Structure 1
Amino acid sequence: MNPNTPVYLKETASQTAGPYVHIGLAPKQAGFDIFEKNFGNVLVTPETKGERIRIEGRVFDGSGHMVKDVLIESWQANAAGRYNHPADKQADKPIDPTFRGWGRAASDFDTGVYFFETVKPGSVTGRHGKPMAPHINLWIVARGINIGLQTRMYFSDEEQANAADPVLNGIEWEQRRQTLVAQRTERNGQTVYTFDIHLQGPNETVFFDA
């Protein structure tokens, strides 16, 4: 055999995460009480400052079918617009010690609905000192998704701030921008923002690189 002849190896077969995502990351919903402290979808305590809101929605695949085994993580600023993280240098904004800003939700196996109980975040100062509209960062994993998807959720009642947001303005088409905007409603005296996520198809949600 000629040593200069290139050798082509066959690709190793890949496999998606399967149902073990819930057992490892959200075991309580999967019926396993194995962690002393479960990281859940309720981010607030009675002492947390800010407007209480509920975020809920469903995740759809490219065929329009609901995906019922999704796990979503959220990361957000507090009501003053500051993250509970040492990398946030906005010294002019207070940290709320009663609000961790991070949550994990799994969709309901029957209805497909996920939800978070949290507070509406304030505006964060972004790159070059430009303010960003209030938003929540989301990370999505599920069976059939080999790499977690990252997106943002904005608020429909923040039209002026959304219009000036540098990230939203970086999206060329208005129709695509709207895939990142959650709609506000009131239900039994509670503020609810509905944010459905489309993994593929004509209504595909905008996703971002890490």
Structure 2
Amino acid sequence: MPKIDPKYFYLSALQKYGISAKALCWNSKEHQYTRFEVIRQALPKDLGGITIVDAGCGFGDFWLFLQERGEKLSGYIGIESLEPFVHIAKERTKQQILHLDVLTDSLPQANYYITSGTLNTLTSFESFLFLKKCLDASKEGVIFNFLYGEKESELYNYIDDAKIAQMLESFQAEIFFDKVGYIKNDRTLGVRKCAPSLE
């Protein structure tokens, strides 16, 4: 269960590493992009007509990843709670980057919400609330990666199968994408609201 201040955690990393994947506490840009590749697999093949909100967008790296691939989508909005990161993401992407806290602020509607790495430094309760709000603001689902397992950590938040099952039941949601094995202890899920019962 993390007992850290995410603001201090990430701003200290920014000061130490500069604008880089390590400032977002990834081991490397390669690991960051591996996670992005998996998130991309969960999205529709054709992004035309699709709007995406990147919750906890950091420096806007997912947008830059899509641009490097020559991908086009109808709309991209980044959400970031750390003001210095907001300014950096705006400068790098030239896209709409909102200075919001997902846990406390109202969120814009979009086809999909994505989040990469953001849950790692939240508590279990915060992760639950974060995903619930993203799911409620999405029309087609939320795609997220997380540290997978039952490990107890003073620094990072691990999510196990029991917590996933509890989340799905509480949200009345279902999994439409599930992938493990691309990086040790990492898992990516795509979750959407269950269709209303006809009974």
Shorter-chain TM-score: which interval? 0.3 to 0.5
- TM-score norm. by structure 1 comes to 0.32
- TM-score norm. by structure 2 comes to 0.34
Q: Which has the higher contact order (CA 8 A, sep 6+)?
A: 1
Larger Rg: 1
Structure whose residues are more often helix by fraction: 2
